Amino acid sequence: MSVLLEICVDSIEGVNSAANNGADRIELCSSLSAGGLTPSAGLIHYVAKMDIPAYAMIRPQDGHFCFDEAEMDIMKRDIDFCRESGLAGVVIGVTHENGTLHYNKLKQLVEHADGMGVTLHRAFDVTPDPLEALELAIEVGVNRILTSGQQESVIDGLALIETLVEKVKAKNSSLSIMPGAGITDENVAQVLAISGITEVHAACQSVSAAYYTNNAPSMAEDAAFSRLFTDPQLVSKLVKNVAKG
């Protein structure tokens, strides 16, 4: 069985690096350095015209996954725009202040995204009881859960990921467990050793050299505009190793 590779990106450059080097799907964001926020309308419009399927992050602010009614309205309107633009799906997640998934608000967003694919993002990884959260995710009807196994790196969370995959199988559910966070061409084989993994998620980022070289005295020393970017070589390497299974 082939494994789908999703690459998360936050720029046109990243979109092209992923699409032109073998990625199967894009998770489209802004501000990956903040964990991923809702992308701009212009970026959504650009990606929607491409052949590669894309899911847009629907997250209006960083720092947590607790959203009030005004933010829920914003997210619903963003989902509407993604649908109207022709994107394949959206990426969502809402929790209570204690970290448990917010059933009612998640259900609202899933229903609002009717006809689109829906990924539950790593809000799942802050939940105090991942097996209970899995039950809720199945019940609200998301298509997949993006998770690091509640660890900083997916490699450290493989035991939980394997448990989640087995629980999904036992329930005869179509929900997919999609490992992500720290996946590289060097460690992806460890992830794919788990039977039942059908898709994986990665960033494939490198640090760019400073963009400006004039060292303007008005700029702070750390404002040379170096940044993280989607590295096409890392995408290509990961694509090859995912294909090896």
Task: Indicate the domain borders of the chain.
Answer: 4-244
**Which residues is 129 bridged to in the sheet?**
none
What tokens were used for 76?
């619903």
Torsion angle in degrees (nearest 10) through CA of 115, 166, 28, 30: 120
What tokens were used for 18?
């992923």
Instruction: Note the pLDDT tens digit of each residue in 216-230.
Output: 555 555 555 667 899
State pTM to two decimals. 0.93
**DSSP strands (E only) in the chain:** 4-9, 25-28, 54-57, 89-92, 117-120, 144-147, 176-179, 199-202, 205-207, 228-230
What tokens were used for 32?
């990956």
pLDDT at 101 over 80: yes
Give the model's pLDDT for residue 61: 94
What tokens were used for 118?
């829906």
Give the model's pLDDT for residue 219: 54
Instruction: Note the pLDDT tens digit of each residue in 173-191.
Output: 999 999 999 999 999 999 9
Owner of token pair 């970017």: 229
Phi, psi angle pair for 11, to nearest 5°: -160, 165
Instruction: Report the chain's mean pLDDT, rounded to a whole number.
Output: 93
Structural contact between residues 181 and 214, judged by C-beta atoms closer than 8 angstroms: no
* Alpha-carbon span 9 to 228, nearest angstrom: 10
Phi, psi angle pair for 240, to nearest 5°: -65, -40
Q: Which range (29-33, 72-76, 91-95, 129-133) has the least confidence? A: 29-33
CATH class of 4-244: alpha beta
* Alpha-carbon span 4 to 97, nearest angstrom: 33
Instruction: Note the pLDDT tens digit of each residue in 43-89.
Output: 999 999 999 999 999 999 999 999 999 999 999 999 999 999 999 99
